[in-house]
Chains A and B, each alone.
Chain A
Amino acid sequence: MPNKPTCSILAAPLIAVTVGVSLTGCKILPTPSAENGGKPPAFNADKMVGDIWAAKAVPYLQQKAGPFPEVHALAKADPAAAGAKYGNPKKQANSPWTFSIRLEGKIVAANTQSRAATMDVDADGDGKADARVQIGPAMRGTALRDSLDFIQFNDFTNQIDFAQFGKAFNIYADKTVLSKLPRDALEGRSVKIVGAYVMGSGQDLPLVTPAEAEIGPKP
């Protein structure tokens, strides 16, 4: 891996010189790899996510996920135990836990006026919202990326690439899953989600980012 950028640094001026000699009079533009400090020009977060989404990411979530009420109760009582069972063990030391969850229940409220649309889900049947699910198109955070134990910050050139990779998960979820969900008369419908949420310290409802979502018919 460390050898790769060196290769492209060396290669870039060579190519430029060759082109310059054979096409005199043409404007020589710096190659992308020379411009961005030797990083392989191929970094494409959307493609990377597309490649692992169905093959690795969704299967990982499905296998790791616990029922939301159970995960959330354990997270409140014993975050470390919840983390060991449902969290990403390779998270950054000072980051909060990100848990993989399955959420089933009834939609009790929805905010589809915001671009960052959400629906509030009652998971335990008491009529009160237990979790807030993001349904896009704008989405907060990087919960999907951070739930996966095979994704490491150290595998990325810098935090910009790492962040764009995180956002690419949200974009992919929006494009392939969330944009196909109904938006009207959501209240009262049943819902089934597989996704992830980050343990928060505030009073707000846990904010779930779905990787899979189904919404039932109007009641």
Chain B
Amino acid sequence: MKLTRRIKLVAFAGMLALGTAAPAYAADLIAIITPSHDNPFFKAEAVGAEAKAKELGYETLVLVHDDDANKQSELIDTAIGRGAKAIILDNAGADATVAAVQKAKDAGVPSFLIDREINATGVAVAQIVSNNYQGAQLGAQEFVKLMGEKGNFVELVGKESDTNAGIRSKGYHDVIDDYPDLKMVAQQSANWSQTEAYSKMESILQANPDIKGVISGNDTMAMGAYAALAAAGRKEVIVVGFDGSNDVRDSIASGGIKATVLQPAYAQAQMAVEQANDFIKNKKSPAEEKQLMDCVLINGDNAAKLETFALTN
């Protein structure tokens, strides 16, 4: 640490001695913190935010918290320590994150939240949130229609620590529970994981061979579930996902998974960086802290227009 500082000082002195007109500081830094990039959704967020930040002349620090609130807290310390001018964050828990974002705020680093909201206002500068509830209602309405309003179904739920796992499940049930002839025979978490969804689906199917549909909290679990159903010769089972990934798009196109719901991840991350830029350069906050972005139903009608979490016209 000391040595680094000395080297920097020497370099600085050297630059002064040379009398160059170049500014003696590096470009401002924006930290981009998301869950693991194993899920292409979060990768799209990071890529979108990074591209916009670079376009606006920032350096970026891209980090992943793996949905671990403690790790997230450490990463926020790192961002503060590195002198980040702003943090773009897809957070690791609606309650657990409040203190971490407050810590950054106290250190003078503004946070711009994407995708998931936190249970406090006035701590982050912006919370640009996918309307997961509205999206889940769209997915569930399509599911209900495909099921013909009746039959046995399974729900795969996401990671419990992730606010959106609960929101989506509530949104699904908000619609589905209005139909008494739709019966949920199993509800299990597969932690957003494709492999876990595969093995869970295999055992659920053994216990409940008479299922007609599977509604999944995200696309990776939908992919895992559909693979298990296909392996068991049950391709006719209706599967609906959430996120709008290219994998599910391709599955829809080939008659596999029936529908998903697109969250505009890429556009949302870019919007957050634009708002951060406005805050850094002009001290301007967005008109509203909490901003909802609607989700869009993707099925056979529009799947072809989907590319990397964005719809083309």
Q: Which residues of A contact B (CB under 8 A)?
A: 2, 37-39, 92-96, 114-116, 137-138, 140-142, 153-154, 157-160, 162-164, 167
Contact = CB atoms under 8 A, between A and B. Distances in A.
Contact of A95 (B163, B166, B292): B292
Interface of B: 94-95, 117, 119, 121-122, 129, 131-134, 137, 141, 144, 149, 163, 166-167, 170-171, 174-175, 178-179, 264, 288-294
Contact of B292 (A116, A141, A159): A159
A142 B166 CA distance: 20
Contacts of B294: 92, 94-96
Given A93-B291, A115-B149, 14 more contacts: A92-B291, A92-B292, A140-B137, A141-B137, A142-B134, A158-B119, A158-B163, A158-B167, A159-B133, A160-B170, A163-B134, A163-B137, A163-B170, A164-B174
A46 B141 CA distance: 22
Contacts of B122: 2
A158 B117 contact: yes
B119 A157 contact: yes
B290 A37 contact: no
Contact of A140 (B94, B141, B264): B141
9 contacts: A2-B122, A96-B294, A115-B178, A140-B175, A154-B288, A158-B117, A159-B129, A159-B133, A163-B174
A154 B149 contact: no
Contacts of A141: 137
Contacts of B290: 153-154
Contacts of A94: 264, 293-294
B292 A160 contact: no
Given A159-B131, A160-B167, A114 B149 contact: yes
A2 B133 contact: no
A89 to B, nearest CB: 13
A50 to B, nearest CB: 19
A93 B274 CA distance: 15
Nearest to A198: B294
